[in-house]
Amino acid sequence: MTVDSGLAVYQNHPLDELRRLRTDAAQTRLRAIRSQIAAGLTLCSVAESAVEFGHAGQTTRVTGKLWKLTDTIHRHLNEPNHVPSDEVEKLRTELAQLESRIRELEERKRRRRVEKSP
C-alpha cells in the first residue's frame, strides 16, 4: 500500500462520515418534527375537550402556542436539507392537517362563546 492510496482512503473516510452524520441529523430532525405535529394534534384534542366542558377561555393560550409551533415548523421545512427532501411534502400535508384542526378549534371556541352570550 502506497502512501498516496492510504491518504486517499483516509481523506474519503471523513467525507463519508460527514455524509452519514448529515443524513442521521436530517432523520432525527424529521422524527422531531413528526413528534411536534403529533403533540400539536394531541393538544388540539385536549383543548377541544376544554371547550366542550365550558373552559373555552383556556384554549386561547393553547392555540397561540400551536400557531407559533406551526410557524416554526414551516420555517424549518423551508430550510434546505433540514429534513430529507423526499419527506418535505409529506410533512407539509401533516402540518396542514394540524393547521386545519387549530382553525376548527378556534371556530368551535367562537361558536361556544356566541352560544353562551346573552
- Residue partners of 108: CB distance under 8 A and separation at least 6: 48, 51
Q: What is the total count of domains within the chain? A: 1
> pLDDT 10s per residue in the chain (118 long)?
344 444 444 556 888 899 999 999 999 999 999 999 999 999 999 999 988 888 877 888 899 999 999 999 999 999 999 999 999 999 999 999 999 999 999 999 888 776 666 5
Nearest to 56 by CA among 5, 107, 3: 107
Cell 376548527 found at: 104
Whole-model pTM: value is 0.82
- Residue partners of 29: CB distance under 8 A and separation at least 6: 76, 82, 83
Q: Which range marks the domain in which residue 76 is found?
A: 3-116
